[in-house]
Structure 1
């Protein structure tokens, strides 16, 4: 039974890596085409609107058809892929960094700072992130920078929760207490002992966090609060208005978005079983 489980988990990791590799290759190919073939680094190529090509069905010229502005849907989705991945990686990285620091403070800190960090984490964590995001976006305005700030604000508490729990586990180990007894500083203890120990779990959460950011951004884009006209959520909202005339827009976008999310989740689940130190041997 154990061997069967291991084979299944190994398969999840392979499938996840395969799917994500396809999207990475797609993103690299579009970046090269946009910045070095059809355009330049200072003036990258962007999908061109041609009204005469409005809502054309998939063909040899337009493999995925065109949107309501006559732009190639393949090019629009490609630009949206770059936007989604860039935003998700930036948000997840910064949110993870903030979450690690605040999580460690809530695990090891003392006094008002510990109480404040713990209270802030819980307050943001218990409210639906999409509602907070809508509120923040309404205040800071509709832009990519505003969206990044919003997603970081709603994303770091989940990393802080994980970091706090893992830090408490590591700090309770006997060798950590011995290190303190011989005078190892808290900073060195964090960098050399705690951080390497909690990093595997945080890597898994980072991968899954990228998936969450992409879904949240698409949701905000669908509600008209996205940071780019190429947001997949914005494109889905556009496709909804012409669903009967051009159902392929929603179909292609849904399949591509779903495949990316499934790939990230499979990758995260597979990584958990390989690098999570709590995994039973």
Structure 2
């Protein structure tokens, strides 16, 4: 697949439906260098996932039964938001660990919502059953071309805004966001995949040479809690040599607190995970290396509003 052309087409398609999120440079106590950041957490519904949702819905003939999505919370909120804006029916399945903030966000969209016991994989099974029963169109959270191309518009937009970094750090759950970034960059910049040690599907797949199931737990599990990495992401990560690092929950919590304390950016743990790799030393830039961090999620629990 020609990912760059797909992402250009996606950007044209979703223009006017998503926000062009700002970029800035931040300095943090404990870091020797300034860090370029993109504030994607102020996107509609608080995450980049709105990009993929709109791209999928605008490039597909949606059946009368509407759409269905399984989600740890953020993807479901994005699909619900996009469907409402486009006048489409949506049914969202989320696991209990999605948390009250994300569940409330979906409820406010007007979509049908089912909360499923267990983790994301359990919500996905329920969504697949709904698809088979009703004929609704499934919108996968991360392992579908329309989703990945939509998420890739975030990196394309960042480069258009003047990204100068040699290296970009991106948090990884199922792989839609980093897959889109890799598809756009195609090796022109170094991409570092950052995962919680307790939810590390990409790291495990790279080590095994194929997608494998992992146990999922920890502070960011409701956003980065995929049990198995997407095949699209793994293929792109291998092809373009993504570097993989793991961070501890305590480091994620510290990065989350730091973003609020020093930059007044309120993010969920997943949104702080990439920064945690720099703050903890899980990723140490070379001398003179320019580094950027994609801040990607703004739905902490409990809901602050």
Q: Quick check: TM above 0.5?
A: no
User: What TM-score comes out, normalization by structure 1 length?
Assistant: 0.24
State the structure with bigger RCO (CA 8 A, min sep 6), 1 or 2: 1
User: What TM-score comes out, normalization by structure 2 length?
Assistant: 0.23
More helix by share: 1
Higher Rg of the two aligned structures: 1
